[in-house]
Amino acid sequence: MRNEAALPGDTQTMAPEAACQEEVVLVDEVGHVRVLTLNRPRQLNVISKSVVSLTACFFEKWEKDEDAELIIVKGAGRAFSAGGDLRMFYDGRLDDSCLEVVYRMYWLCDHLYTYKKTQVTLVNGIVMGGGGAFSVPSKFSVVTEKTVFAVPEASIGFHTDCSFSYILSRLPGYLGEFLALTGARLSGKEMVSAGLASHFVPSEKLKELEERLLKLNSGKEDKVKEIIEEFKIDVQPDDDSILNRLPIIDKCFSKETVEEILSSLETESGVEGNGWIAPLLKGIKRSSPTALKITLRSVREGRQQTLEESLKKEFRITMNILRSVLTGDVYEGIRALAIDKDNAPMWNPSTLEELSPEKIDLIFRPLELELNLPKEEHRWIGKYEDLAYPELK
Please, is 309 exposed, middle or buried when counting C-beta atoms within 10 Å of its C-beta (0-12, 13-18, 19+)? middle
| Cβ 350 vs Cβ 309: under 8 Å | no
pLDDT digits (tens, 9 = 90+) for 99-134: 788 888 999 999 999 999 999 999 999 999 999 999
Cβ atoms of 292 and 258 within 8 Å: the answer is yes
Contact 186, 150 (CB under 8 A): yes
pLDDT at position 229 = 98
Please name the residues in contact with 49: beta carbons below 8 A apart, sequence gap of 6 or more.
16, 88, 98, 100, 101, 104
Q: In what order do the strands lie in the sheet with 79-81?
A: 79-81, 126-128, 148-150, 186-187
pLDDT at 5: 44
Q: What's the pLDDT at 97?
A: 63
Cα separations (Å) of 199 from 88, 137, 149, 159, 202?
33, 13, 15, 28, 10
Q: Is 121 helix (H, G, I), strand (E, B) or coil?
A: strand
pLDDT given for residue 103 in this prediction = 87
CB atoms within 10 A of CB 247: 9
The pLDDT assigned to 184 comes to 97
How big is the CA angle at 82 (ends 195 and 89), to the nearest 5 degrees?
125
Active-site residue (options: 23, 153, 190, 329): 153
Are 392 and 96 within 8 A, CB to CB?
yes
Question: Does the annotation mark 22 as catalytic?
Answer: no
In the chain, where are the structural domains located? 2-233+240-373
* Among 83, 125, 130, 183, the one annotated catalytic: 130
Q: Which residues does residue 47 pair with via DSSP β-bridges, in sequence order?
A: 84
- Answer positive or negative: Cα dihedral of 246, 248, 253, 255: positive
pLDDT tens for residues 63-82?
Answer: 999 999 999 999 999 999 99
Q: What is the 3-state secondary structure (H, E, C) of 329-368?
A: HHHHHHHHHHHCCCCCCCCCCCCHHHCCHHHHHHHHCCCC
DSSP E strand boundaries for the chain: 2-4, 6-7, 10-14, 25-30, 33-38, 70-75, 79-81, 118-123, 126-128, 140-143, 148-150, 186-187, 199-200
- Please state, in angstroms and rounded to a whole number, the distance separating the CA atoms of residues 348 and 371: 28
- Identify the pLDDT of residue 95: 65
**What is the per-residue pLDDT for 22?**
53
DSSP 292-312: HHHHHHHHHHHTT--HHHHHH
- Peptide bond connecting 152 to the previous residue in cis, omega within 30 degrees of 0: no
Q: What is the pLDDT along the chain (393 residues), one digit of tens a residue?
A: 555 443 333 322 233 333 334 589 999 999 999 999 999 999 999 999 899 989 999 999 999 999 999 999 999 999 999 999 999 999 887 666 677 888 889 999 999 999 999 999 999 999 999 999 999 999 999 999 999 999 999 999 999 999 999 999 999 999 999 999 999 999 999 999 999 999 999 999 999 999 999 999 999 999 999 999 999 999 999 999 999 999 999 999 999 999 999 999 999 999 999 999 999 999 999 999 999 999 999 999 999 999 999 999 999 999 999 999 999 999 999 999 999 999 999 999 999 999 999 999 999 999 888 888 876 543 433 344 444 444 433
List the catalytic residue out of 75, 83, 84, 125: 84
* 254 alpha carbon, distance to own chain's centre: 23
Q: Are 88 and 381 in contact (CB under 8 A)?
A: no
CATH class entry, domain 2-233+240-373: alpha beta
Q: CB–CB of 196/180 below 8 Å?
A: no
Judge whether 84 counts as a catalytic residue: yes
The contacts of residue 207 (CB under 8 Å, 6+ apart) are: none
By CB atoms closer than 10 A (0-12, 13-18, 19+), residue 351 is exposed
Determine whether 130 is an active site residue: yes
- Look at residue 136 and give its three-state secondary structure: coil
Cβ neighbour number for residue 354 with a 10 Å cutoff: 12
Catalytic residue status for 308:
no
Q: Which amino acid is at 56?
A: A
Catalytic residue among 4, 17, 85, 161: 161
